[in-house]
Amino acid sequence: METHNSKKRIISIAGLLGSGKSSTAKVLAPILCMKHFSSGDFMRAIADERGISLGALTVVANTDKSIDDVIDEQVKKTGEGDNLVIDSRLAFHWIPDSFKVFLSLDPEVAAQRVFDDAQKNYARHKEHLAPVTSPKDVKKSIIARLESEKQRYWNKYGVNHVDPKNFDLVIDTEFTPLDQVVAKILEEYQKWINS
């Protein structure tokens, strides 16, 4: 398929914690016969290498700028290609000619989703600074991480990574099942790539 202007066959998916970025990207990529890259998975690997939780790595990243530098370089390098679905908080910034999607979600709902997932997926327990014993604990962790990231990305890049104006499509996933999120992205992406 020929693209127009400087558009690339890349869909970048950002969003709030628990909004379904990774799940959406994993379903979307094979439908479009595209590769998938997750900066969250990349960051989890860095945390594992250091023997700390993802939440702890986020705190460390507030003072150790090399963490963001490594992640950003990997996202930029990955974005040099084409035929890609990438879930990453800053891919919209590093790959401005991608189709930029933002998934939003109320923090209460996000906390319950993340808590439920942590009960089924032990690896998710390691992502938090403190033990996950209730949705209330998760909500605190989510809010702390969001505020940390907002401050860090603004100070370092002058970017508000949760501002809907940065995106081509915004979807609230609270009442929108995964299959409908994917269908909406496919529909709007086809319009965008052909415009």
Render pLDDT for 90-128 as a digit per residue (tens, 0 to 9): 999 999 999 999 999 998 898 888 887 777 765 554 555
Q: Which CATH architecture has domain 10-175?
A: 3-Layer(aba) Sandwich (3.40)
DSSP string, 57-119: HHHHHTT-HHHHHHHHHHHHHHHTSSSEEEE-SSHHHH-TTSEEEEEE--HHHHHHHHHHHHH
What letter would DSSP give residue 106?
Answer: -
Q: What's this model's pTM, rounded to 2 decimal places?
A: 0.86
The listed range with the strongest mean pLDDT (46-60, 103-117, 178-192) is 178-192
Predicted confidence (pLDDT) per residue in 130-177, tens digit: 556 788 888 887 888 888 889 989 999 999 999 999 999 999 999 999
How far apart are alpha carbons 17 and 46 in whole angstroms? 19
Least confident of 36-40, 100-104, 187-191: 36-40
If you count them, how many residues does the chain have?
195
What integer pLDDT is reported at residue 35 of this predicted model?
96
Spans of all domains in the chain: 10-175
